[in-house]
Amino acid sequence: MIEQPLKLPNGTLLKNRIVKSAMSEALADAHNNTTDGHINLFERWGEGGAALLITGNTPVDRWHLEHAGNFVLDEKTDAEQTKRLTAAAKKHGAKILAQLAHAGRQVPEAINPTPLSVSELKLDLPGYGQPKSATEEELQATIAKFVTSAGLAKDYGFDGVQIHAAHGYLLSSSLSPRINMRDDAWGGSLEKRARLVLSVVRAVREKVGKDFIVAVKLNSSDFQKGGFSHEDSIETAKMLEKEGVDFIEISGGNFETPVAYAHKSKQESTKIREAYFLEYAKDIKAALDIPVMVTGGFRSREVMENALTNGDADLIGIGRPFIIDPEFPSKLFTGDMDMIPAVERDFPPAQDLPRGAVLNWFCHQLALHGTAGDSDLSVPVVEGHEKYLDYIETSTKRLLETRGQ
């Protein structure tokens, strides 16, 4: 089934079921515009055979970045360079979505020490500042930023947008009763906590029209005590369906509980667990009529096929293997490959590595794609981790110098 096309509710036909899910490429220049390395990588991903490519964390507000190297989509964006990105991605028949995001309280302190959030609850991690609880006017202005970015995405050749309401960013935080402690119209009951993401989706759909893809990335759960629960996720998904979204991608966790970024080594388990959000996605899929995309842990064709044939998912979202082998979808389709790259399984257990080392190693490999044209698997995990930390520091300094800070 992975080779079968899928028609989305808006009429767009995806040529197969494999999606390059969003990863934070962090390959933008000092003005947060896409670069040649970024463009070349998306062309390579498109040529590799995936039906749909989603940009990684594309902020609607350049003061609320997840990383200094984020590609931003706003009025200051270089239009011609962005059109080159979409044309390159679509050159071989893939579709491309811009993943519109607002980092909320998860903005690095060096970039913004007082980011906008739904409350003043600070992220329980070093390197993040004290957030400011958004006013009514600021929330309305944020909705307007999503609308502006969606309109620009359509103008610049994207096939649609994905609204990022997962992983603890602003819209995800708004859904969490642990973080959203407001007692106004934006907090309290699930309906009120969902108001921000629903307002964004409604306003974006009105802006872009019915023929443009509008998708949402949603946590199956925050996996935090007192946070956004699985039951909340099912009900929110139903609300989103009523707003006319074309599909929902299921993931989970946030920066404090990074479930989506975890890895298991061979030392930890003789049987590697795949598709770790699939059990949650089943419940959500059963409650909806629109397509559901599941991301996280897929490595074997067998597990992908089972997820599709059992009706637990309609689209298979994959991230890290695209960094290691951008052409793996075509190899799956021709039968040259049954198991896609899973290099993380040969890494030491997480407890034996610095915090975030595996994620940072993959981010370093992404950076190599943008700067050197390909990954380098000979780089040891800890070395790649350290090189990426240096890369982050350099990118941040460059951004702040450009801003005049």
Q: Does the pLDDT at position 266 exceed 70?
A: no
Q: Which of 100-109, 169-178, 197-206, 273-282 has the lowest mean pLDDT?
A: 273-282
pLDDT grade, residue 355 (50/70/90)? confident
What is the distance between the alpha carbons of residues 128 and 119, in angstroms, rounded to a whole number? 14
Residue 201 in contact with residue 175, Cβ under 8 Å?
no
pLDDT grade, residue 264 (50/70/90)? low
Q: Name the more confident of 258 and 297.
A: 297
Q: What pLDDT was estimated at residue 253?
A: 73
Q: Does the pLDDT at position 93 exceed 70?
A: yes
Task: Indicate left, alpha or beta for 226 from its phi (over 0: left) and psi (-120 to 50: alpha).
Answer: left
Mean pLDDT of 321-338: 95
Rg (CA), the chain: 19
Contacts of 298 (CB under 8 A, 6+ apart): 274, 275, 304, 307, 316, 317, 318, 340
Q: What pLDDT was estimated at residue 275?
A: 72
339's tokens: 């198991």
**Domain range list for the chain:** 6-341
> Residues of the chain with pLDDT > 90: what percent?
84
Q: Does the pLDDT at position 166 exceed 80?
A: yes
Q: What pLDDT was estimated at residue 270?
A: 40
User: What CATH number has the domain spanning 6-341?
Assistant: 3.20.20.70
Distance (Å) of CA 116 to CA 106, 203, 222:
10, 20, 20
pLDDT grade, residue 263 (50/70/90)? very low
Q: What pLDDT was estimated at residue 46?
A: 97
pLDDT digits (tens, 9 = 90+) for 23-48: 989 999 999 999 999 999 999 999 99
Q: Does the pLDDT at position 232 exceed 90?
A: yes
Q: Does the pLDDT at position 260 exceed 60?
A: no
- How many CB atoms are located within 10 Å of the residue 273 CB? 10
Mean pLDDT of 111-115: 97
Q: What pLDDT was estimated at residue 271?
A: 42
Q: Helix or strand or coil: residue 80? A: helix
Q: What pLDDT was estimated at residue 226?
A: 84
Average pLDDT over all residues of the chain: 93
